[in-house]
């Protein structure tokens, strides 16, 4: 839905004001798309995400025994971030769970739905639940920015990841706007009508620069099968320490009560020098203390994410080193 021509007038849904967006030729400049995410509103097509649907009379109780979030207090229309961990407490798949009537919709980072479905099915023994990979049938668009049309949010509860029906799609409140999740044909129909038809788009590279700037980890770039939840602060909103048993609980709870992890995922910003690459070493006082995992595109330069050893406390200055390049930067918490 990138708009064409010399400019695009757009009503935000918060009154009658309009804006004109600068373009280069017939394509919006990536820097302008990023500015929309910061200061106005843009739509990002994220239909490459993975989607798993769990159905059946015991769908919720089946998941409750396995995943890190507490699903018991949730009703249809609620959602929560969660993790499926290995028995050793390391990450298997991070996802969001939405309770939709008698189903549970799980959405993951791209390419992870088959892994999530296979992992869940390994534990599906004599239980009235079915696990379906619906990635070919479902999609998602995110509407991001401070000027998200009020008509999209008016019916939403204040709680994060609470959702309502929007035609046959689910409209989900997020930290930065709203997500629309549902079957591809219904999602296409919703996108073609007001208030979304006038909202300009930001592409995947722009979204990646934005998420890095906001300290949002992606799997497998920033979190993978070696990750303990506390290393990437996943425990803040994806782990319940009061729900009772779940897969991998022992390690996660032991760290929470009397342990620590040896590294943390950090935001790297104010980069001066060559533009780094994923895998670049993070160096303090001549000693390697970590490495970058995600780096924003060169043309946007919003920053990077990377792991840094726990003894180096933020905020701090660091050097970045890689074959053929060197830079100075600062790092901070997510």
Question: What are the tens digits of pLDDT across the range 200-256?
Answer: 999 999 999 999 999 999 999 999 999 999 999 999 999 999 998 999 999 999 999
- The crossing angle, in degrees rounded to 10, of helices 30-39 and 204-213 is 50
177 within domain boundaries: yes
**Does residue 230 form part of some domain?**
no
For residue 9, which phi and psi values (nearest 5 degrees)? -85, 135
Q: What's the pLDDT tens digit per position in 36-61?
A: 999 999 999 999 999 999 999 999 99
- The pLDDT of residue 235 is 97
Residue 249 belongs to a domain: no
Confidence at residue 203, expressed as pLDDT on a 0 to 100 scale = 96
> What does pTM read for this prediction?
0.91
Instruction: With respect to residue 170, please indicate whether it lies within any of the assigned structural domains.
Output: yes
Pick from 20-24, 73-77, 295-299: least confident: 20-24
List C-alpha distances in Å: 3 to 7, 198, 204, 244, 328.
8, 8, 16, 50, 37
Spatial separation of the C-alpha atoms in residues 97 and 79, rounded to whole Å: 5
Asked whether residue 26 carries a pLDDT value surpassing 50, the answer given is no
How far apart, in whole angstroms, are the C-alpha atoms of residue 27 and residue 205?
A: 14
State pLDDT tens for residues 125-184.
999 999 999 999 999 999 999 999 998 999 999 999 999 998 889 999 999 999 999 999
Q: What is the rounded average pLDDT of the residues 103-108? A: 98
In a domain, 318, yes or no: no
Domain-located, residue 159: yes
Contact 266, 289 (CB under 8 A): no
**CATH code for the domain of 147:** 3.30.70
Percent of the chain scored above 90 by pLDDT? 87
Q: Using 50, 70 and 90 to split pLDDT, how confident is the model at 313?
A: very high
For 33, the token pair is 């798309």
Q: How far apart are CA 221 and CA 28, in angstroms?
A: 27
Instruction: Domain count for the chain, please give it.
Output: 1
Confirm whether 199 is domain-assigned. yes
- pLDDT computed for residue 27 by the predictor: 57
Q: Is residue 64 part of a domain?
A: no
Provide the domain limits for residue 30. Answer: 9-46+139-213
């Amino acid at each position: 839905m990138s708009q064409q021509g010399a400019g695009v007038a757009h009503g935000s849904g918060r009154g009658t004001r309009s804006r004109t967006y600068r373009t280069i030729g017939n394509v919006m400049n990536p820097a302008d798309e990023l500015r929309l995410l910061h200061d106005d509103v843009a739509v990002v097509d994220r239909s490459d995400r993975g989607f798993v649907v769990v159905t059946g009379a015991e769908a919720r109780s089946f998941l409750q025994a396995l995943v890190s979030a507490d699903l018991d207090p949730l009703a249809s229309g609620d959602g929560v971030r969660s993790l499926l961990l290995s028995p050793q407490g390391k990450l298997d798949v991070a996802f969001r769970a939405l309770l939709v009537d008698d189903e549970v919709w799980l959405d993951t980072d791209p390419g992870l739905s088959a892994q999530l479905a296979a992992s869940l099915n390994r534990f599906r023994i004599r239980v009235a639940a079915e696990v379906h990979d619906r990635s070919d049938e479902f999609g998602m668009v995110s509407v991001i920015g401070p000027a998200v049309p009020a008509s999209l949010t008016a019916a939403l509860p204040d709680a994060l990841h609470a959702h309502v029906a929007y035609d046959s799609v689910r409209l989900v409140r997020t930290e930065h706007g709203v997500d629309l999740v549902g079957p591809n044909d219904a999602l296409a129909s919703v996108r073609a009508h007001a208030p979304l038809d006038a909202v300009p788009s930001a592409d995947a590279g722009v979204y990646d620069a934005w998420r890095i700037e906001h300290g949002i980890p992606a799997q497998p770039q920033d979190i993978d099968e070696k990750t303990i939840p506390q290393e990437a602060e996943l425990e803040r909103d994806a782990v319940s320490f009061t729900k009772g048993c779940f897969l991998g609980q022992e390690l996660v709870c032991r760290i929470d009560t009397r342990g620590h992890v040896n590294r943390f995922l950090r935001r790297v910003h104010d980069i001066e020098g060559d533009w780094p690459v994923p895998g670049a070493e993070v160096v303090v006082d001549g000693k390697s203390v970590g490495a970058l995992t995600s780096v924003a595109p060169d043309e946007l330069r919003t920053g990077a994410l990377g792991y840094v050893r726990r003894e180096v406390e933020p905020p701090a200055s660091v050097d970045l080193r890689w074959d053929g390049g060197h830079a100075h930067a600062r790092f901070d918490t997510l």
